Amino acid sequence: MENTDHMQQLISTAKAMVANFKGLVAIDESVSTLNKRFELAGIPQTEEYRRAYREVLITTPGIGNYINGAILFDETVYQKTLTGIPFMEELKKAGVIPGIKLDEGTEDLAGFPKEKVTKGLDDLAERLTAYAKLGLKFAKWRGVILIDGELPSVACIVSNTHALARYAAACQREGIVPIVEPEVIMDGDHTIERCAEVTESVLRSLFKELHLLKVELGGVILKPNMILAGKDAPQKSSPELVAKLTVNCLRNAVPATVAGVAFLSGGQDPVTASLNLNAINKNYKAELPWPVTYSFSRALHQPALEIWKGKTENVKAAQDSFLQLAKANKAAREGEFKS
Ligand code: 13P
């Protein structure tokens, strides 16, 4: 893509998303995902409770000290605080850049049992134009890759990375920075080495597809999984090993021109996610060509949800928890986190 003002704008937004040792927060759970989390926490599964939960997070005092950007779900973009202030305005006040989840979940990949491909390309251009007008500056699209015996298939990797590249090119045309999230999920009992092998293949495929579709890497944020053993694997990995294999994988497969790397947490508990991010930044500071930060959902605010429980009297304690985890991850981003 040409180095026009348009592109410079994209590059400067992407840089701002990962600047100052801060990270991103994902508060973009779909209606069904958030409802499932509410159900487990005993919270009513209604639009009003989802709005109220998003208000708890967005209005947490001081959050802009640790968070550069928040990924929103569609309904949140139009919602307001109880006192009538649009969430988009609250974010602006807090100095937090608003972004939007654009994928529409997954469907079965025909002919490949157990594997999924992400939906949402059909009306993407129209949705992008509308969100750009509303002031959304960046977007997210998640592809899901399962490790299971011989899986993932090449077909699954190529289908998902091609869709990610189509989405990224469409975003950049609209002046929106794409976060590309090819998530190799933790489900299963595979080894950490198998996760490294699969993740490297996925990332190599992703950057090949991004190149094919002329996506400008300076205006892209990569949101990968860390390199971890499957959640049912007998052996847990130390932060030192996670950091070593994660950095090795990223350095092999991710061009240095990418604006930033912002990990998903993937079901790790908050302390483990912070320890791993910390080891990456502490042990490999000199070897990382990109800022390496967080774009967590669960590892930043699942405890807040469980504290809040849908009750006004718990808002302050829930916000304290969210702020505390945001602060911890900024420390991990700097390689200075202690559990
Ligand atoms: P987790 O940090 O909970 O994995 O969520 C990140 C995300 O945005 C998933 O798409």
User: What is the distance in A from the centroid of ligand 1 to the CA of 83?
Assistant: 29
Q: Does 237 score more than 60 pLDDT?
A: yes
Catalytic entry in 137, 140, 223, 330: 223
Tell me the mean pLDDT in the region 246-258: 98
Q: Rounded to whole angstroms, what are the CA distances from 91 to 58, 79, 101?
A: 7, 12, 16
Catalytic entry in 181, 183, 200, 216: 181
Q: Does 1 score more than 60 pLDDT?
A: no
Question: For residue 44, is the peptide bond before it cis, meaning its omega torsion is within 30 degrees of 0?
Answer: no
Ligand 1: which of 28, 116, 264 to mutate, judged by most atoms within 8 Å of the beta carbon? 264
Name residues contacting ligand 1 (CB within 6 A).
26, 142, 181, 264-266, 296-299
Question: For residue 224, is the peptide bond before it cis, meaning its omega torsion is within 30 degrees of 0?
Answer: no
Q: Does 178 score more than 90 pLDDT?
A: yes
pTM above 0.95, yes or no: yes
Q: Tokens in use for 335?
A: 């390689």
Q: What is the pLDDT of residue 2?
A: 55
Ligand 1: which of 36, 73, 263, 297 to mutate, judged by most atoms within 8 Å of the beta carbon? 297
Distance between first and last Cα of the chain: 44
Asked about 89 being catalytic, the answer comes back as no
- Residue 284 is given by DSSP the state S
Q: What is the pLDDT of residue 236?
A: 87
DSSP, collapsed to helix, strand or coil, labels residue 184 as strand
Closest CA to 296 of 70, 5, 59: 70
The architecture (CATH level 2) of 4-333 comes to Alpha-Beta Barrel (3.20)
Domains in the chain: boundaries:
4-333
- Residue 80 is given by DSSP the state B
Q: What is the pLDDT of residue 4?
A: 84
Q: What is the pLDDT of residue 148?
A: 98
User: What is the distance in A from the centroid of ligand 1 to the CA of 277?
Assistant: 15
Which are the contacts of 145, defined by CB distance < 8 A and separation ≥ 6?
152, 156, 157, 160, 182, 183, 184, 185, 198, 202
DSSP, collapsed to helix, strand or coil, labels residue 108 as strand
* Amino acid, res. 311: K
Q: What is the pLDDT of residues 279-312, one digit of tens each?
A: 999 999 999 999 999 999 999 999 999 999 999 9
Asked about 216 being catalytic, the answer comes back as no
Percent of the chain with pLDDT over 70: 99
